[in-house]
Amino acid sequence: MADILFKEYENCRLCPRQCRVNRYQTQGFCGEKSDLSIDAVLLHQGEEPCISLNKGSGTIFFTGCSLRCPFCQNMQISQKSTCKKIYSMDKFVEAMEGLIRSGAENINFVTPDHFSPHIIEGIKALKKKGYKIPLIYNCSGFQSIEHLKSVVDYIDIFLFDYKFADPDVAKKILTTENYPEVCEQALEFIFKNKGNLTLDSHGKAISGVLVRHLLMPGFVHNSLRIFNNLLVDYGNKIYFSLMNQYSPKYLKPGFEYLNSRVSNEEYNEVVDHVLALGFVNGYIQEFLDADDEFLPDFNHRTVFSNRISKITSFINKKSDLE
Ligand code: SF4
């Protein structure tokens, strides 16, 4: 397939940053030009059980990010990639086919927004070849409605971050005080279009929305507010994943107040609050050892009394399917 020119990159407004730069000539705030740039393609065993299931989630990590959190847990991929490779459309489709041949439970596009034109075209090519597999948009929560309208019909599952509910906290940490507003409108849109997460009879996610929230050290109040909002807006059956895996390992200078792990007390306070609110569809994490990094395993909990779950480190083995 000849490579395609995408008009969306010429005056880029793919995310709320609205840079309006010509990415065929220069990069925007996300740090990426128009070439499809991927850091890793791998079978990921560390997502939630309904996403990784048996063989793992067929995960594609794009380089760059339109949000660029100073504490990013994927900093080496999102903002400081040293492994970026440029993919042609053919190579991109071949990478997805390779994941499917290896038994991937789904195709999981991580930090996809700024490459959505390529992704949509790749999905069309995959479908034309007859592949049927759940397609996941694994995103930061900083997506405009305009952008979501362009992708929603191609995507089955949204793994959707809800990082901050408090504009002051968002301003302090992200320098984008409108994150809560953008995120809440985006969540409303995708929930209206896709509904709550749906699992098949094997416990595999096949469609809908799973909201992810990462507890930050010193910001319990932000997390409590997020779950209060979720309850009011979506009820206690919404699927969520409450993560305690925060690590300051890649923290940028100037954010020293985030330079610690989340304490047991902080995490328990949020879990207890979630329990008290009556949520029934969630994933929580066991505490990490000091040296554990990145994305651990999750265990599905519909009853939270058993908080023990096996944690394994992020499978950082890069696939030779690239
Ligand atoms: S995707 Fe990148 S270039 Fe486009 S508006 Fe967002 S940050 Fe700017």
Task: Kindly tell me if the per-residue pLDDT of 13 is higher than 50.
Answer: yes
Structure-token pair, residue 319? 């696939």
Residue 143 lies in a domain: yes
Task: Kindly tell me if the per-residue pLDDT of 288 is higher than 60.
Answer: no
Task: Kindly tell me if the per-residue pLDDT of 319 is higher than 70.
Answer: no
- Whether the CB of 315 sits within 6 Å of ligand 1: no
Which residues have a Cβ under 8 Å from the Cβ of 30 and sit 6 or more positions away? 15, 17, 64, 65, 66, 68, 113, 114
pLDDT at 244: 87
Alpha carbon nearest to ligand 1 atom 1, residue: 114
Residue 222 lies in a domain: yes
Q: Residue 318: which pLDDT band, with cuts at 50, 70 and 90? A: very low
For residue 27, which atom of ligand 1 is closest to its CA? 3
Alpha carbon nearest to ligand 1 atom 2, residue: 30
Residue 250 lies in a domain: yes
Residue 307 lies in a domain: no
CATH number for the domain spanning 66: value is 3.20.20.70
For residue 114, which atom of ligand 1 is closest to its CA? 1
Compute CA 66 distance to the chain's CA centroid, rounded to the nearest angstrom: 13
DSSP per position, 212-240: EEE--TT-HHHHHHHHHHHHHHH-TT--E
pLDDT at 2: 58
246-258 per-position pLDDT tens digit: 888 888 889 999 9
- Whether the CB of 28 sits within 6 Å of ligand 1: yes
Å from CA of 185 to ligand 1 middle: 19
Q: Residue 175: which pLDDT band, with cuts at 50, 70 and 90? A: confident
pLDDT at 308: 27
Q: Do the Cβ atoms of 158 and 134 come closer than 8 Å?
A: no
Residue 228 lies in a domain: yes
Residue 312 lies in a domain: no
* Cα–Cα distance, 307 to 195 (Å, whole number): 27
pLDDT at 287: 61
- Whether the CB of 21 sits within 6 Å of ligand 1: yes
For residue 113, which atom of ligand 1 is closest to its CA? 1
- Whether the CB of 22 sits within 6 Å of ligand 1: no
Which residues have a Cβ under 8 Å from the Cβ of 64 and sit 6 or more positions away? 27, 30, 31, 32, 37, 78, 79, 81, 111, 114
Residue 321 lies in a domain: no
Alpha carbon nearest to ligand 1 atom 6, residue: 15
Element (H, E) at 77: helix 75-78
pLDDT at 71: 87
Q: Which of 9, 20, 22, 23 to mutate to test the pocket of ligand 1 (most atoms within 8 A of CB)?
A: 23
Residue 18 lies in a domain: no
User: What average pLDDT is seen over the chain?
Assistant: 86
Percent residues over pLDDT 70 in the chain: 85
- Whether the CB of 120 sits within 6 Å of ligand 1: no
Percent residues over pLDDT 90 in the chain: 68
96-128 per-position pLDDT tens digit: 999 999 999 999 999 999 999 999 999 999 999
- Whether the CB of 114 sits within 6 Å of ligand 1: yes
Q: Residue 259: which pLDDT band, with cuts at 50, 70 and 90? A: very high
* Cα–Cα distance, 185 to 133 (Å, whole number): 28
pLDDT at 249: 84
pLDDT at 217: 94
Give the chain's domain count: 1
Tell me which of 38-47, 84-93, 163-172 is least confident: 38-47
Å from CA of 18 to ligand 1 middle: 6
For residue 12, which atom of ligand 1 is closest to its CA? 4
Å from CA of 24 to ligand 1 middle: 12
pLDDT at 301: 28
- Whether the CB of 14 sits within 6 Å of ligand 1: yes
Task: Kindly tell me if the per-residue pLDDT of 185 is higher than 80.
Answer: yes
Q: What is the model's pTM? A: 0.89
What range defines the domain where residue 93 resides?
Answer: 31-301
Please, what is the Cα angle at 113 between 108 and 117, to 5 degrees? Answer: 95
Å from CA of 31 to ligand 1 middle: 8
Mean pLDDT of 29-35: 94
- Whether the CB of 33 sits within 6 Å of ligand 1: no
- Whether the CB of 216 sits within 6 Å of ligand 1: no
Å from CA of 42 to ligand 1 middle: 26
Q: Residue 299: which pLDDT band, with cuts at 50, 70 and 90? A: very low
pLDDT at 1: 64
* Single-letter amino acid code for the residue at 69: C
Task: Kindly tell me if the per-residue pLDDT of 193 is higher than 90.
Answer: yes
- Report the residue count for the chain: 322
Mean pLDDT of 17-29: 96
Mean pLDDT of 269-291: 80
- Whether the CB of 301 sits within 6 Å of ligand 1: no
